[in-house]
Amino acid sequence: MRLRGSALVMTLYLLFLLIPIYWLVNMSFKTNTEITSTFTLFPADFTIRNYVTILTDPSWYMGYVNSIIYVVMNTVISITVALPAAYAFSRYSFMGDKHLFFWLLTNRMAPPAVFALPFFQLYSSVGLFDTHIAVALAHCLFNVPLAVWILEGFMRGVPKEIDETAYIDGYSFGRFFVKIFMPLIASGIGVAAFFCFMFSWVELLLSRTLTSVNAKPIAATMTRTVSASGMDWGVLAAAGVLTIIPGALVIYFVRNYIAKGFALGRV
Amino acid sequence: MEKTQNNKAWFLVLPVLVIVAFSAVIPLMTVVNYSVNDTFGNNQFFWAGLEWFEEMVTSNRLHEALGRQILFSAIILAIEVPLGIYIALNMPKSGFWASVCLVLMALPLLIPFNVVGTIWQIFGRVDIGLLGHYLAELGIDYNYTNDPLDAWITVIVMDVWHWTSLVALLCYAGLQSIPNAYYQAARVDQASRWAVFRYIELPKMAGVLLIAVLLRFMDSFMIYTEPFVVTGGGPGNSTTFLSIDLVKMAVGQFDLGPAAAFSIMYFLVILLVSWVFYTVMTNLDKEEGK
């Protein structure tokens, strides 16, 4: 009997989660006249024109390309710098380590709104405004701390005896780290990379502030359409659906670690 | 784990330090600089001392935004935390359905913030949205662009939709770590459902729940994109939260001084909460280590 109750609760909750998404998908396959003039639960006049519009118009699909470029750059930078740091935090105690670890956390918690304007001026003054690297570096603000915390959580689970044995066997630090240690925490690296990817992908405020034309992310492209008069609802919905897809694809692979990632490696 | 004392570890941390310093410390210094200066453009600055801070501390606009922000965060926590725990308790423990639930629940978490806003903007519209349409058919007068209360409800329901899964997933991970023996012992003792929850499940979830509360508090405290897309801070100023107000002030009106003073106070609040959280968490870690 209890099982039945649980199933009911879960069904209701999942329905609550999925109905708004269904509506978006539904709209993306409708024509604009159908959206605004009639109310239908399924597209009566099924069309993929909205998707065609996006995939053939450079001002739309370049948004996706730009987003992917800076997101990948950011992920690579974050993981590369976070790996040695996380190792240091998990293995050694050194002067100021606790303060430093805490300071990193505060950056994950920092409101992007506080940083929007200073970032704009900083990157303008060094000539990086409207480049992919500017957004990638700006997102490091919250992704590097996140990666350090997640990786540290995974590294704590690896016994220290492994390090010591490797050193006795004559491994240098670099060789040990790449050949032995990294494969051991491969899942951790994957999870950290996924979360860096995700948080950079969903962020809008900074990426919009730091770009104008050449590196404009898809999220900003969408907001511009929203504010324009005479809205193209179908295309907007289709663009939204396309931004959900990357997350939906990867989610299956990290489903067992997703809580750990969101908990900053502390589960 | 026993850690070795070794100050050379600083070299391993150095890259992180450099990159975060570049993206956090330098901008923060700019903010501090603006907050104590007045400018008429052309990069000419005049010392203004604490004037902006005084102006901001006594500003009605800030008080109202702060009030709305605190109310919003409080409502969000009051709904999402109990609901998240409840959902976690009802999730299947293992097998195919557990995976399905995990994947579907994680879905809203990975949607770009502005798309979340767009989804709800469309969903709630009376003319073309499913929710708005059916509410109108039921005879409920619902219009989030005109009515402040409706706007609030929409923003809150949207946030519950977006983030309850986070609390649920974290609690679920906490529940999974409880050995089956605990439940068996409880059954032998004929413990009630409530007792099992209160004395077994809740203590085991305490750590993750703390993280969940912190993350939800922080993220709701700096929420920007979702309400901005749905309501644009309106109608009037009714859904203008701190971040929205700040961006309006800094980028919209270019009031750099007040905006910077505002930013610093905003940041100090964040720092304080983070510190409390960090202290509690390290204490929990230590207790577990014993």
Token duo for residue B116? 């979340």
Phi (first) and psi of residue B49, to 5 degrees: 60, -135
Domain boundaries, chain A: 58-262
CB nearest A144 (choices: B20, B174, B246): B20
In CATH, what number does A58-262 get?
Answer: 1.10.3720.10
Whether residues A104 and B16 touch (CB distance < 8 A) is answered with yes
Residues of chain A with Cβ-Cβ distance to B247 below 8 Å are 113, 116, 205
Q: Which residues of A touch B103 (CB under 8 A)?
A: 251-252, 255
Write the pLDDT tens digit of every residue in A165-218.
Answer: 998 998 888 899 998 899 989 888 988 998 898 889 888 888 888 888 888 888
Mark yes or no for CB contact B211/A107 under 8 Å.
no
């202290």: which residue's tokens? B279
Which candidate in A102, A133, A258 is best for mutational testing of the B interface (most B CBs within 10 A)? A258
Is some CB atom of chain B closer than 8 A to the CB atom of A42?
no
- Kindly list the structural domains of chain B, giving each domain's residue range(s) and its CATH number in brackets, ordered by start: 62-289 (1.10.3720.10)
Q: What is the mean pLDDT of residues A49-75?
A: 87
pTM of the predicted structure, to 2 decimals: 0.84
pLDDT value of residue B81: 92
Interface contact A107-B271, CB threshold 8 A: no
Could you give the CA distance from residue A84 to residue B74 in angstroms, rounded to a whole number? 39
* A23 touching chain B per CB within 8 A: yes
d(CA A222, CA A63): 9
Q: How far apart are CA A98 and CA A81, in angstroms?
A: 18
pLDDT for res A82: 93
DSSP A180: I
Phi, psi of A50 (to 5 degrees): -60, -45
pLDDT of residue A227: 47
Peptide linkage before B235 cis (omega within 30 of 0):
yes
Q: Residue B65's pLDDT is what?
A: 85
CA closest to B89 among chain A residues? A6
Name residues 162-191 of chain A within 8 A of B (Cβ): none
Residues of B within 8 A of A13 (CB-CB) are 87, 105
State which residue of chain A sits closest to B122, comparing Cα positions.
A24
Contact A46, A27 (CB under 8 A): no
- Nearest-angstrom CA–CA distance, B164 and B247: 27
pLDDT of residue B40: 62
Residue A78 has pLDDT above 90, yes or no: yes
Contacts of B144 (CB under 8 A, 6+ apart): B124, B150, B151, B153, B154, B230, B231
- In a 3-state reduction of DSSP, which class is residue B4? strand
> If pLDDT is split at 50, 70 and 90, which confidence band does A1 have?
very low
pLDDT value at residue A69:
92
Question: Given this model, what pLDDT does residue B290 score?
Answer: 46
How does pLDDT run along chain B (290 residues), one tens digit per residue?
567 788 888 888 888 888 888 888 888 888 888 788 776 655 666 776 677 777 777 778 888 888 898 899 999 999 999 999 999 988 888 778 888 888 888 888 888 888 888 888 888 887 778 888 888 888 777 777 788 888 898 899 999 999 999 899 889 888 888 888 888 888 898 888 888 888 888 888 888 888 888 888 888 888 888 888 888 777 777 888 888 888 887 777 767 778 888 888 888 888 888 888 888 877 877 776 54
CA-based nearest distance A242→chain B, Å: 10
**Helices (runs of H) and strands (runs of E) counted in chain B:** 14, 3
Predicted confidence at residue B132, as pLDDT, reads 81
Instruction: State whether A100 and B13 contact (CB < 8 Å).
Output: yes
Say whether pLDDT at A115 is over 90.
no
In tens, the pLDDT along A43-58 reads: 877 888 888 888 888 8
Residues near B22 by beta carbon (within 8 Å), at least 6 away in sequence: A137
Q: With CA atoms as reference, report the closest residue to B89 among B203, B208, B169.
A: B169
Measured between beta carbons, the chain B residues lying within 8 angstroms of A119 are 23, 27
